[in-house]
Structures are given as C-alpha cells and as structure tokens.
Amino acid sequence: MRAPFAEVLSAAVARRESQVVLGLDPDPAVLWPQAAEAAAGSGSPAERAGRAVLEQCRLLIEATAEACVAIKPQLACFERLGAPGWSALAAVVELAHAAGLLVIADGKRGDFPLTAQAYAQALAGSTATVAGEVAGLGADAFTANPLLGRDALEPLVASGAGVFVLVRTSNPGAADLQDLLLADGTPLWERLARLVNELGGSGSTQPLSDVGAVLGATRPEYLQRARELMPRAIFLLPGVGAQGGRAEDLGAAFAPGRAAGLVTASRSIANAHEQAGGDPAAAAAAEAKRLREVAWALGA
Amino acid sequence: MRAPFAEVLSAAVARRESQVVLGLDPDPAVLWPQAAEAAAGSGSPAERAGRAVLEQCRLLIEATAEACVAIKPQLACFERLGAPGWSALAAVVELAHAAGLLVIADGKRGDFPLTAQAYAQALAGSTATVAGEVAGLGADAFTANPLLGRDALEPLVASGAGVFVLVRTSNPGAADLQDLLLADGTPLWERLARLVNELGGSGSTQPLSDVGAVLGATRPEYLQRARELMPRAIFLLPGVGAQGGRAEDLGAAFAPGRAAGLVTASRSIANAHEQAGGDPAAAAAAEAKRLREVAWALGA
C-alpha cells in the first residue's frame, strides 16, 4: 500500500523547500556537449541517442536536484527513440528517486477503462504476466486526459498514484474546446475542474487531494476560479519560462499551502545558458534556484 | 513522401475485401497456450513476458490476416512491459506489414504542439538525433485525443499518417463530457466532429480524408449524424463484439464507400475459442471471417 501522493508531496515540498518541477523533454538533436559525447561508441542510432538523452537528463538532475522537488519526464520525447528510449526513461526515474526527487510521468493518457488500467500499470503499478509480476515505470504521479469521462479516469485514480488531470492547458488552441460555453453558461474547463474535485473526494478533510489539475501558467486569470472549484487539488503549472508564463503571477495556486502549486519548467532551465552564457549546468542550476525562490516567496 | 493514408487504405480494403481491423491488446497473464510457452527460458520477467506477448500477436496475425485489412495494437498493453514491451510492439508492426496489413497505433495521444510533434515522430515518423536519424514505430495511422484543440492536432495531421480523432467513444462514461450540450444546443461531440471535418480539408474533392474519427460502435444512432458532419472521414468503430456493439448496426458508416468504416475487434477474436471451443487460432480465424462478411455485406 503506497502512501497517498498528496502526503508524500507535501512532505517533500517542506523538506526540500521547493515547488519546482524539472521538466525533461530532451531533444536528441540538441544536447549539452557532454551529453552529446555519450552518443559516441557502439550501438544502433537509437541506442546511441538513448545514451545521450539519458546523460542529458542525468546532468540536468545533477545540476538542479537541490532546487527541485520532482521531475516531469515528457514520455513522447523518450518514446520517439523506441525501446532504447523507454530504457533511458526507466533509468531517469531511478536517478531521480536516488536524488530524492518525485517523478511525474507526463504522457497525458486517457483511454477506455480497461486500457486506462493498463496505463496505470505501465506508469505506476505492475502487471501480472505468465513470467511473473513485471514492475512498471515507478512514477509517483502522472498526467491524464479526461475526455473519455469519469469511468476512464477512475482506474488511474485507483492506482494510488497522483493523477494530474488536464483542465485548462497553456497552448493557444486550448480555447478551441476547453473554453467552449456549455448550455448552463459555464465553460467546459470548469466542468473538468468539477470532475477533478469530485474524483479527489470533495468531502474529504485532508488538506490536499491525490487528484490534481494541469493548468496553464500562461493564463493566471484562470487560477483564482480554478482554486474555487478545486479547493484541494494540487495544480501542476506548466508554461513557466519558455511558454511565456511567469511564476510571479501564480499566487492563487498556492492558497491552500505551498504544496498546492507545482511550477514546472523545462526548456527555460535546460537552455538557460543560451541567455545567461557560460556552462549549461551552472546556468540550469541558477535558473532552477531562481524559480524556486520566486515560487517559495509566493506561498508564504 | 508517403502516399495519403486514405488512398492506401482504400486500395487495401478493395484488394483484401475486408474492413476488419484486428485489435491487439494482449493480457500477458492470459495468453494462448502456445504463446505462454514462449515465456519459458532465460531473461527478466519483462523480457520473457514480452516474448510471450509477441508470440500471441504473431499467432493472431497468422490466424486472421487473410480476413483483415489492418491491426490496431493498443500501446498501453505493450508499454506496461517496459522496453521489452516496446520491442515487442515494434516487432508486431513488422509482422503486420509483412502480412500485408496496415498498422493503426492506438495510443490516443494528445499534447502541446511541440510534444504532439514528438508523438508523430514516435509513431509514424523519425527523429533527428546526434547519432543520426532514428526511425519511429512505422505505423500507417494512429488515434488521437482532441481536447487540447486544433494546434495540438495539426502536427499529428502534418505527419502524413492517418489520424483517427476521438469523437464519441463507446464507454459508459463517454456521456459525461462528450454529450454535454453547448450553449448553441449541440453536444460537444458534434463540435469535435466539425473539427475533424475541418482538419481533413472540408473543401477537398478526394472521396476520403486522412483525418478520421473514432466512434463507438455501441451507439449506432450517432453514426448517421456523424456521417452528416464528417462526410469524408474514415470511421474507426471499436466496441464490436466484447463491448456489445454489432457490426450489423453500422451501415451509416459505410455510406461513402467500403473503406469509410473500419470495424475493430480484439477480445471477441482472441477469445473466440472460449465460446466456440476448439483451437484458439481456428476460432479466431472463423470469427474474423464472420466479421468480415457481415461488414462487407453492409458496404455493398
């Protein structure tokens, strides 16, 4: 029986004094020099690229772990390297755990109930097989897409891992559907928010729920309303940095406590040296530290 | 430059005289005896289970290929075995192509535009890396989730592969969101249908579009309306068999031509021997042949 994600996260945020989530979405064509060197030697292109991507993630974790509370690997960026990519992903999860970081697997999965169960096994559970039990990725939490409705989310929630459900995303096209007005005059995303609140046990007395929400940090005007609708949800806030969001604008997210808002950044950390100059690892460390201080001050 | 999916599919449907898609969602704890035997020998549990799952898929393809036009592997069922599962998936794609079948990768992906691009690379493209180009899975088409809006679907469509967008799914919970009435009095799923039609080039003179729709076969009353809204879309129709849908009810799907509706079945084929008795492969072959005849008669 795993400890509830919200409790584990709350303790980790307090211990590490950080709400920063290191996004890992490595581009295997554009890596730090030391990571690119790991592609040298034997193996197929996919195997060599897998080594390089793993090395890039290792360097990023090494440089920034002290300032972060979790990593958020983007599954697509590993899947595009096939089986060697999935092996690299599994190794990244182990590295993160060894560094005391939680792991939020970002795959935005959503499928029929039986298949949702298989995704829960893949990401945060295990699978019974004719060859014995096979462990999944070992993530502490993962992102999920709610379009298939409540019965498709329930197997994910039942996994016991944290589940961050897409509610209002930060891409320009998000408005196409998530902002559509329903017959009752409210936008679709508010209905998604209500579903998240229900799934998280709206009557619970625990301060935070294991069912959280993905909310784009590029639109802070949504956060106040989102907090009203989901008083106990942990908000995962991508879009800080490279996508234009600013951590300073996210105060409403942290109202229930510091662990109630997680600030994720990936390219703004990995590519910090392009603006700051100097060593990539040192620039990444400085940017993660800066984000941590900004977010921590907001949640006081 | 790949040939347009709709053309490739139309030719394949005509050549093979089939609109049946073999769904592959292997449960590694419940396999045909011959497949389970492949788990014997050396390796980790995941590697042994991966061998068994690959053998199950190989046997299913061997038994049913003649009656089918494509396979639809359920990515979750392979991902839960980690890297060995992904290797098995890649091998299944090769087996299917060698048998003359198209491949529809069923992962229901949907993500921010840059990440959607990475999924397109993973499933149906290739990725530039420091170690050279890495080929993706080689699927001919894949399923996608539209919740993030048009800009998140465009990189998938731009891949040139076929894209089957979720419009109205067959699970009971689908009604929670997909049937919500919008302010204009229409349900959300009809808005999704309009988006599919636009993305597929609503002004095109080609008979069928490369952008298709996933529509649950358990609710045939939707199909007539869906066809009005998406006159050129290829409908992927899961839910036949184990989920309760009947191929006989799907006539509206085939109005624009036989390749305009694909009937997918997985458990009802893989588990046909549980009802019919006898050899699993023979029962699977008979059920695939039965489905093919039913569907073919509808599209005449």
Does position A131 have pLDDT exceeding 90, yes or no? yes
pLDDT in tens, A252-261: 888 889 999 9
pLDDT in tens, A205-243: 889 999 999 998 777 778 999 999 999 999 999 866 555
The reported pTM is: 0.97
Answer yes or no: is A165 within a domain: yes
Specify whether the CB–CB gap between B143 and B105 falls below 8 A: yes
Name chain A contacts of B152, Cβ cutoff 8 Å. Answer: 171, 173
Q: State residue B170's pLDDT score.
A: 87
The stretches of B21-132 forming alpha helices (DSSP H) are 33-37, 45-64, 75-79, 82-98, 113-124
Residue A237: both structure tokens together: 């806030």
The one-digit pLDDT tens for each residue of chain B (300 residues) are 689 999 999 999 999 999 999 999 999 999 999 999 999 999 999 999 999 999 999 999 999 999 999 999 999 999 999 999 999 999 999 999 999 999 999 999 999 999 999 999 999 999 999 999 999 999 999 999 999 999 999 999 999 999 999 999 989 999 999 999 999 999 999 999 999 999 999 878 889 999 999 998 777 778 999 999 999 999 999 866 555 667 677 788 888 899 999 999 999 999 999 998 899 999 999 999 999 998 888 765
Residues 32-61 of A with CB under 8 A from B: 36, 39, 45-46, 48-49, 52
Q: What angle do CA A265, A270, A275 make, to 5 degrees?
A: 100
Instruction: Return the residue matching tokens 């949800």.
Output: A233
To the nearest whole Å, the CA of A37 is away from the closest chain B CA by 9
Q: What CATH number does the domain containing A138 carry? A: 3.20.20.70
Contact status of B130 with chain A (Cβ, < 8 Å): yes
| Closest alpha carbon to A53 in A39, A41, A40, A67 | A39
Does position A201 have pLDDT exceeding 70, yes or no? yes
Considering only CB atoms, A150 lies closest to which of B29, B176, B182, namely B176
Mean pLDDT of A98-122: 98
CA–CA distance, B167 with B174 (Å, rounded to integer):
10
| Closest alpha carbon to B140 in B3, B234, B16 | B3
Kindly provide the residue ranges of all beta strands, DSSP E only, lying in chain A, ordered along the sequence: 20-24, 70-73, 102-109, 126-127, 134-135, 141-144, 162-168, 211-215, 235-237, 261-265
Give the DSSP H or E segment for B261: strand B261-265
Q: Which CA distances in Å does B211 have to B167, B171, B198?
A: 12, 22, 9
Specify whether the CB–CB gap between A105 and A137 falls below 8 A: yes
Q: Do A77 and B130 touch (CB under 8 A)?
A: no
CB atoms within 10 A of CB B203: 5
pLDDT band at A245 (very low <50, low <70, confident <90, very high): low
What residues of B act catalytically? Answer: 108
For residue B288, the number of C-alpha atoms closer than 13 Å in the C-beta half-sphere is 31
Which chain A residue has its CA at the smallest distance from B83's CA? A83
Q: Is A93 exposed, middle or buried (0-12, 13-18, 19+ CB in 10 A)?
A: buried
Q: State residue B276's pLDDT score.
A: 86
Residues 223-282 of B with CB under 8 A from A: 238
The one-letter amino acid at A55: E
Phi, psi dihedral angles at A181 (to 5 degrees): -80, 130
Which chain A residue has its CA at the smallest distance from B51's CA? A131
Answer yes or no: is A60 within a domain: yes
Q: State residue A240's pLDDT score.
A: 65
CA–CA distance, B214 with A167 (Å, rounded to integer):
22
Percentage of chain A exceeding pLDDT 90: 84
Domain that includes residue A101, residue range:
5-295
Answer yes or no: is A176 within a domain: yes
Answer yes or no: is A300 within a domain: no
Q: Which CA distances in Å does B95 have to A122, B61, B105, B138, B286?
A: 24, 8, 14, 12, 21
Residue B193: both structure tokens together: 């249908």
List A134's β-bridge partners, or say none: A127
**Helix B45-64 crosses helix B82-98 at what angle (to 10 degrees)?**
20
What residues of A act catalytically? Answer: 108
- DSSP letter string over B5-43? HHHHHHHHHHHHT--EEEEE---TTS--HHHHHTT-SSS
Specify whether the CB–CB gap between B110 and B145 falls below 8 A: yes
Q: Which of B25, B44, B79, B178 to mutate to test the interface with A (most CBs of A within 10 A)?
A: B79
Instruction: Return the residue matching tokens 């990401």.
Output: A123
ipTM of the complex: 0.96
pLDDT band at A124 (very low <50, low <70, confident <90, very high): very high
Q: Which of A117, A147, A215 to mutate to test the interface with B (most CBs of B within 10 A)?
A: A147
- DSSP letter string over A78-110? HHTTHHHHHHHHHHHHHHHHHTT-EEEEEEEE-
Q: Do A76 and B109 touch (CB under 8 A)?
A: yes
Specify whether the CB–CB gap between A169 and A146 falls below 8 A: no
Q: State residue A94's pLDDT score.
A: 98
> Over the range B142-154, which residues count as b (16 or more CB within 10 Å of their CB) and which as e?
bbbbbbbbbbbbe
CA–CA distance, B126 with B163 (Å, rounded to integer):
17
Considering only CB atoms, B82 lies closest to which of A90, A118, A152, namely A90
Q: Do A74 and B115 touch (CB under 8 A)?
A: yes
Q: How many domains does chain B have?
A: 1
CA–CA distance, B83 with B61 (Å, rounded to integer):
22
Answer yes or no: is A39 within a domain: yes
Contacts of B293 (CB under 8 A, 6+ apart): none
Kindly provide the residue ranges of all beta strands, DSSP E only, lying in B89-168, ordered along the sequence: 102-109, 126-127, 134-135, 141-144, 162-168
pLDDT in tens, A35-94: 999 999 999 999 999 999 999 999 999 999 999 999 999 999 999 999 999 999 999 999
Phi, psi dihedral angles at B179 (to 5 degrees): -100, 0
Specify whether the CB–CB gap between A93 and A153 falls below 8 A: no
Contact status of A91 with chain B (Cβ, < 8 Å): no
Q: Do A82 and B191 touch (CB under 8 A)?
A: no
CA–CA distance, A71 with B225 (Å, rounded to integer):
44
Q: Do the strands A141-144 and A162-168 form a parallel or antiparallel pair, or are they unpaired?
A: parallel
Q: Do A25 and B118 touch (CB under 8 A)?
A: yes
Which chain A residue has its CA at the smallest distance from B121's CA? A80
Contact status of B110 with chain A (Cβ, < 8 Å): yes
